[in-house]
Amino acid sequence: MCGIIGILSKKSAISDMLTNSLERLSYRGYDSAGIAFVESGKIECIKSIGDISELKKKASNQKIDSRIGIAHTRWATHGGVTLANAHPHCTNLVAVVHNGVIENYHSIKKELELEGERFATDTDSELIPILITKYLEAGCEKHIAIRRALNHLEGSMAILVLFNDEPNKLFGYKKNTPLILSFNEDRSILSLSSDIYSIMDLNKYYININDDEMVVLDLDKKFNNKHDYDANYIYDNKYQLINKKIYLIDKKNNDLTGKDKYAHFMLKEIHEQPVVALETISYLYNQNTNEFLFDKNILDKTKSFLKIVGCGSSYLVGTIGKLWIEELADMTVSVDIASEFRYKSEPLKIYDAFLYISQSGETADIITSANYIHNQTSKPIFAITNNPISSLAQISGGNIFTKAGIEISVASTKTFITQMISFALLSLAIAKNKKIDLDYQEFCQDILTIPRKISNLLNDEELIEKIKFIAKSIYRSQSIFYIGRGVFYSIAMEGSLKLKEITYIHAEALAAGELKHGPLALIDENTFIIALCPKNSLFDKMIVNIEEIIARKGKMIIITDDNEISETFEGNNCIILNVGSEYNLFSSPALYTIVIQLIAYYTALEKGTEIDKPRNLAKSVTVE
């Protein structure tokens, strides 16, 4: 999964624009980076390994006057992290950047090698410029050469293409991975990129590119209506111009891409959670009228049997949503991991609807699965996503947009909380639509307290110091266990995921009742166990599980809302973290989530790992 950007500019050289945009895209990949541009009829290329800052240094040492360029930040899929494998990939005639995966790469490469072609990299992407060059040399026009090259390739791709003899034209193509066209008021700057955040400081308008569409940006081309529709840049698969709706870029989050006073984006985003929680609540619930503000189609079509599908943290929040919807809305809910669900043999007709969860709305496993469902059944597809212009939002027949804003850190924090709040309100909205008798005002009052309670917790200096002490205690551990029951088992799984993502410590979540069925064999005096122990109906059973661990000399970290638990366990090889608020159905899981986020963050800080950009991971994984 990678980030790509291409820029045409009438006014100034593009070097700084490209590298600055790459910095905004670096959450999509940071193994290596590169830029290519056209000068005096020749393609020039600059590449670097690691952080974008190294590429900026190299580019600043070379005088670049070009007004056209493409750039790429890589998350390796094929081939190691080397300068040769970094994009762009070039021939004398063509330069290409690619986001996606070519699934039939090996067979096509073998065919070309038998024809005498020589490859300089281990990547799948190198096929693209080689094939395009082959068709150019056979006499094809440029757009035909691109189409013919791509016809050989199976998989996902968003590509940008430069030609050595076209200093004013940039070509792009999209299939199963995101691509956005944007421009400023007078169209002196035109760009194509993986997402809208990369060009927020450059441009004012954008157009969504759909699958199998080709874009030809041309600085010399006249344009029509700049505020509504335009047919000057985008072509269908028969190379006919397409009318496309033009949208205004919402720049309210443009200033959120800096760290402000925080050492890391992750910590900043943890502290943004009171604000985004409130914005998400306000978007989905009208406090003055006590109305739920969901698409009526979602509520009417979600009656008896719902399938929820997600990946990573989104999958885990789906397991929380399942429990709430089943408890409150008298429904059966099934939850699946997207990468598994797509390839299962399961009767689809039993479900009323399919609800997909994705922060970016571009996750390849999600999009592939949603498209499969769309093609296999007439049942409705709905989505919870943070990205209104995403592929998922376009596939969906009804959307629930979280208000998390830009999230740069790879480890999800504020997107998890806003998705959780969305499920809390959705469970109540479905129940109300089904006329189930509940105390809706009491439940909604609990949800309304979430922003304030999170803020109080984040400002609890004593709690933060205890978490820092815990971090110092556990950061050398080889393995850590989390335990919980019900919703808190799901949060335990999220806690273990956060810890392994950014600390590289092996972490495992266990349903607390399962300890006695095998995992207790792993507990000894060197083992840390983090227990989520709210004072709900399962509190007494959790206490029994904690006693089982203490009897085997395990080291306990107990997160709780019970004020008396310290008298029983504090000092008995136990550390107690109190969330400072009594148990409630919706607000308590949110507070426990904040604590497990902070434990992961401060443990990573002790270890000195790259918190925002953990090794081998990227933010929005647009490859299967």
Positions marked catalytic: 2, 619
Cβ atoms of 505 and 499 closer than 8 Å = yes
- Cα 369–chain centre separation: 16
Cα distances (Å, whole numbers) of residue 618 to 74, 93, 317: 9, 31, 19
Instruction: Show the tokens assigned to 314.
Output: 């989104």
Closest CA to 46 of 82, 83, 99: 83
SS3 357: strand
Cβ atoms of 369 and 341 closer than 8 Å = yes
- Cα 245–chain centre separation: 26
> How many other C-beta atoms are found inside a 10 Å radius of the C-beta of residue 536?
16
Instruction: Show the tokens assigned to 606.
Output: 């002790």
Distance CA 612, CA 593 (A): 18
- Cα 579–chain centre separation: 28
What DSSP character marks residue 554? P
Cis-peptide, bond into residue 88, ω within 30° of zero:
yes
Measured CA angle at 417 (ends 313, 365), to 5 deg: 30
SS3 71: strand
In sequence order, the 6+-apart residues with CB closer than 8 A to the CB of 578 are 463, 560, 561, 562, 563, 566
Instruction: Show the tokens assigned to 357.
Output: 């969860």
Distance CA 583, CA 449 (A): 12
Widest Cα–Cα separation across the chain: 83
Bridge-partner residues for 175, per DSSP?
157
